Chains A and B, each alone.
Chain A
Amino acid sequence: MSSNILRRAYKLSSSILYRYQPISTFFVSRSDPQFSTSSGKPQNQKNEYGVSSISNKRLNFSFGSSLNNTRLLFSTQAAVEPSTSDGLTVDGIVANQWTILDENESDWKSHASAIAQSIGLIKKRLQWKKLKVRLEMLSYQLEKPDLWDDPVHAGRISREHGSLMGKMKEVNGLEQGLLEHIDMIKLAREEDDTDLEAESVKALLRMRQSLKEKELEALLAGEHDSCSCYIEVQAGAGGTESMDWAGMVMQMYKMWAQRRGYGVTVVDEMRGEIAGIKRATIKVDGEYAYGYAKAEVGAHRLVRISPFDSAKRRHTSFAAVAVTPILGDGSHHVQINESDLRIERYRSGGAGGQHANVTDSAVRITHIPTGITASCQNERSQHQNKASAMAVLQSRLDQREMVRQAQMNAQYTQSLTDNSWGNQIRSYVLHPYRMVKDLRTNFEVSDPDSVLEGEIDDFILSFLTESMDKENDEV
C-alpha cells in the first residue's frame, strides 16, 4: 500500500527526474522540521513544483528514515557529501568498481557505476575544484558594496557567477538524482515491489544514456565557448602552393560551419595572385562556434605533388589558423579609444571623391598602441566595412587581454586558446599516401577528401576530449 502511493508520486516525478531534479524536493515542505540538514537548520529548499498534496500524503507515511539522509548540496559551502540512506556516496560508487555492463543489461549496479563515472568525468572537465574556488571568489566579489560602481565589470562578474553556479547546480542535481534512484531501488526491494524496481532501473538507464551528451557538453564549458567566433587563415611561406593550401583550409572551415548550421560571412580576404588566399577571415555565427573552432588553432601542414610545379615535385606547405571569440556587448575586456586608432582606406589610388566610382570601400583599422590591425572589404559601404573591421579588432584585443590576464593571475581560464601560430597541429598528406593525422591526439583518418570537405568534428572532439582530460589530470 505504501509503495503504491510512493509509486504514484514517483511516476509523477519521473518525468522531472529525467531532468535530474532531486525527487526529495517532493517530500520536503518548508515548515516540516523532520526534514532538516544535519546541522539542524531547517532545510530551506523550496518545493519548486508546488505539489504539496503529494508531499502531504507522503508525510502521512512516516518512513522518512529512508530518504531524509539524502542531502541536498546547493551551495559551494555545503559541507556534507550527499549519500543514500545507507551512506553510499557517488565517490563510493566509483570506488566499488562495479562492473559496467552493456546498457541493455538491466543491472542497476552497472548503470550506477557508469553514471558515477560520467559524473566524475564531467566534474573533471569542468575543473571542479578550480570551479568551486572561482565561484567562491566571484560570490565574494558580488557581495562587495562597491561592485556596481563599475557596471561593466559587475555585469561580467555576475554573468560568470550565474553560469558557473548553473553548472554547479546541474552536477549536484545529477549526483542527487543518482543517489535517489538507488534509494528507490532499495526501497522497492524491501517492499518487494518489482514494478517500482523496474521503473527505477529504467530511470537509471535513461540517466546513463543522456549523460553521454552531458559529457560532451562539459567539453564546451569554457567561459566563451558558446560564443560565435572569427576564424582566420593565413598562408605560410612558399608562394602560390601555400596560398592554394590556405584557400583549401578556409574552404574546409566554411563547409564545416555550413554543415553545422552556422552562419558564415567572409569579412576579409586577400586573394593570391594565381590561386588561393594570402589570408582571410570569416565570421562564424552560432552557438558554440568558438568552443569547437578553438580546437583548430595552430599550423596545418600539407604534403602533396603541387599542381603549380611543372616539375611535379612534392611540396610541403603550411597554413596558420587563429580563432577569436566574439564576446557579447558588455562583456568586452578592452575599451577601445577612438584616438588610438588609425583608419585607412586601402587599395585606393588616385584623387578619389567625385573623380572615382568605386564599389570597393575596404577599410583597415590599426590599433596604434598594440599594432593590432583588422580589415574588412566585403561589405557594400565603407561605413559597414569599418564597423565589421572594428568588431574584428575588438575581438582580437579582447582575446589578447584575456590571455594576458590569465597569464598574470594564473587564473581559472578554462580552455582559452592563445593564438600562437607556431605549433603544428595537423598534417594532411595527399602523396605518397593519403592520410590526415592530428599531431596532438594522433587521431587519424585515411580519407583527406572528406576532411577537406569539412568533416572535422571527429578531430575537434578527440582533441577537446584528450586535451581537456589530460590538462585536468595534471591539476
Chain B
Amino acid sequence: MNLAILARSSPLFTTSRILHRSIASKPFSCCSISNSPISINPKTPLFLRPPTFSATLSDLQKWQNWAKSIASSVKSSFTDSDNGPNSNDLHRELNWLIEDALENPQSLLTHNEFEIDYVLRLRADLDELYLLWKQRIEKRRPFQYVVGCEHWRDLVVSVEEGVLIPRPETELMVDLVDDVIKENEDLKEGLWVDLGTGSGAIAIGIVRILGDFGRVIATDLSHVAVQVASFNVNRYNLQDKISVKQGSWFEPLSGFEGRVAGLVSNPPYIPSGHVSGLQAEVGRHEPILALDGGEDGMADLLHLCNGAALMLKSGGFFAFETNGEDQCRFLVDHMETIHNGSFHNLEIIPDFAGIQRFVTGIRS
C-alpha cells in the first residue's frame, strides 16, 4: 500500500510500523479503491506531445488569421454576460496555444510571408487546431483544457476535464506555507496533507519548499483528480515525496491523528445557489464536485476545520482557501467558539485582488 512507501522513505514513520499494521487492518471504504490498478490514463498536454504533424507556413498563418478574427469578434460580449474573457485575453491565449502547438514557435516570427512553403512541425494537426480554437470560442471550453495544462507558480500542471484548473489566487497558499516553515524546522521536515488536491498543484508546490524529510499526502475523492495528480507528481519526479490517495477528506488519513505538521485545502466553497450563474468556462466545463460547497458553501470547510483539530499535532499549521470575507469570518468565529482553545494565531489573509481569501492558524 502507498503509505508503506511513504513510511519507509521518511524517518518520521520509522517508529510507526505498528501503527501501520493497524491502518492496514482497518476496513477502508474509499481507500480500497485506489488499490486496484486503474486503466484510464490522463491525457498528455499539448506541449508534451511529439511534433509529429506538419503544416506550411501559409496554412498555419491562414489558421492563425482565422483564429485571430473570431477572437476579435468576441469583443467584450463574454465579459459583459458573465465576466468571461475579452478579445484581448483571447489573443494572448492564441499566442500561448501557438507556443504549445509548435515545435519551434520562434519560426513564426523569423520567417516572413515570402517563405510560404516553409514547413513547420506541429504537436497537433491543423484540423485539430481549428477544432480546439472553435471549442475555445464557441463552447467556451477553458483555455487550460484546450492546451491540457495550466501554468501555476513556476510549474506547468497537466489538467483535463474532470479536474479543477488551479487558480492564480491559490498560488498564495504555497507562499503562506513558505512563511511558516521558514522559522520552523519541525514543520519543514514534517508530514503535510493537501485535501482535495485536484491536479496536485498545491501538494507539488509545497513539497518543493519542504526540507529533505518533508512529505505530503494528497487526497481527493475524484478518480480523475487522483489520476491527474499522480501524473503531475510523477512528471516532477516527486513520487517518493508525495503520496496521492483517493478517498473522502480525512478517510485516507486514519492513523495519522495528531501527527500532521501542516494541513492545507482549497475545498469546494461556492454556495449551491451560485453554481448555475457561473462564468461559462467554469459552470459548463469544470467538475461540480470541485465547486459546490453546499447551501452556504461552508459544508466542506467546516468539516475540514473539525478534522484539522483532530489531525494536526500541537504547533501544526493549517491554511484554507475560502470564497471571501464572509466565509473567512465565519470560520474564524467557528474556531474560536466551537474549538475554543484548539487553535491560535488565527489569521485572515487577502489575495492580490484584495479579497479576504485565506484563513490560517496554528493548532494549540
Q: A residues within 8 Å of B by Cβ?
A: 271, 343-345, 348-361, 363, 378-384
Contacts and interface: CB of A to CB of B under 8 A. Distances in A.
12 contacts: A344-B354, A345-B168, A345-B352, A345-B353, A353-B322, A356-B279, A359-B92, A359-B96, A378-B92, A381-B168, A382-B352, A383-B152
A358 B151 CA distance: 12
A378 B315 CA distance: 40
B161 interface: no
Interface of B: 83, 85, 88-89, 92-93, 96, 142-144, 150-155, 164-165, 167-171, 266, 268-270, 274, 278-279, 281-282, 286, 290-291, 321-324, 351-355, 357
A351 B355 CA distance: 8
Contacts of A383: 152-154, 171
Contacts of B274: 355
A352 B323 CA distance: 8
Contacts of B151: 379-381, 384
A243 to B, nearest CB: 15
- Consensus secondary structure, chain A interface: loop
B282 A355 contact: yes
Contacts of A360: 85, 89, 92
Contacts of A348: 353
A309 to B, nearest CB: 24
Contacts of B169: 352-353
A359 to B, nearest CB: 5
Contacts of B142: 357
- The 6 A-B pairs with the shortest beta carbon distances in the complex, nearest first, are A380-B151, A345-B352, A357-B281, A382-B168, A383-B153, A381-B151
B171 A353 contact: no
Nearest to B292: A354
Contacts of B144: 357, 359
Nearest to A383: B153
A356 B352 contact: no
A363 B323 CA distance: 21
Contacts, number: 98
B92 A356 contact: no
A282 to B, nearest CB: 14
Contacts of B170: 353
Given A351-B355, A357-B165, A360-B92, A384 B154 contact: yes
A344 B169 CA distance: 11
A379 B269 CA distance: 28
Nearest to B154: A383
A352 B351 contact: yes
B137 to A, nearest CB: 14
Contacts of B171: 381-383
Contacts of A361: 168
B270 A352 contact: no
Contact of A381 (B152, B281, B290): B152
B270 A355 contact: yes
Contacts of A384: 151, 153-154
Contact of A351 (B150, B152, B168, B324): B324
Nearest to B278: A355
Contacts of B143: 357, 359
A355 B96 CA distance: 23
A299 to B, nearest CB: 28
A349 B85 contact: no
Nearest to B165: A357
A108 B161 CA distance: 79
A343 B274 CA distance: 29
A348 to B, nearest CB: 4
A353 B152 contact: no
B127 to A, nearest CB: 24
A354 B265 CA distance: 13
Contacts of B92: 359-360, 378
Contacts of A345: 168, 351-353
B323 A353 contact: yes
Contact of A354 (B83, B85, B154, B270): B270
Contacts of A359: 85, 89, 92-93, 96, 143-144
Given A271-B88, A360-B89, A381-B151, A354 B279 contact: no
